[in-house]
Amino acid sequence: MARKVVNRKELRAQNDAAEAREKTKKSPKEKVAKEKTPKAKKEKVAKDPTKAKKPSRKKTAKEARMKAYWGVYNQGMKRLAMFEYSDKKAAEKKAADLMASSRTNHFIQLVKEAITE
């Protein structure tokens, strides 16, 4: 079933009209009476238990340190070899040798692994 399209302008006008009616219903005596009792407000603030409690902070998870490697992969995304990040030329050479020997595509890709201490 199709929904009725909500006209936001009409809803806003209705809300404004309702607020205006509420303001006109209150007599000036009520406004003065509220202003004369600031002590009651202070007591409520002191007794309010929700404001007295501080929200507990959750501990953030410590980020694991990562180390970069070059991985040599075949077409099926199977990692065949890994080389240090500084040995990119050796990884490229290994991929070229594998392509020449098996006639299938091999490529290198950056791999990041967490350092375990």
Q: In the β-sheet with 79-84, what is the strand arrangement from edge to edge?
A: 79-84, 66-74, 106-114
Residue 75 lies in a domain: yes
- Evaluate whether residue 103 is within a structural domain: yes
Whether 73 is in a domain gets the answer yes
In a domain, 22, yes or no: no
The reply to whether 77 falls in a domain is yes
pLDDT digits (tens, 9 = 90+) for 55-85: 778 888 888 899 999 999 999 999 999 999 9
Range(s) of the domain holding residue 73:
66-114
In a domain, residue 17? The reply is no
Would you say residue 113 has pLDDT above 60?
yes
Give the model's pLDDT for residue 117.
74
Cβ partners under 8 Å of residue 79, min gap 6: 71, 72, 73, 111
- Domain membership of residue 59 (yes or no) is no
Average pLDDT over residues 90-110: 94
Number of structural domains (the chain) is 1
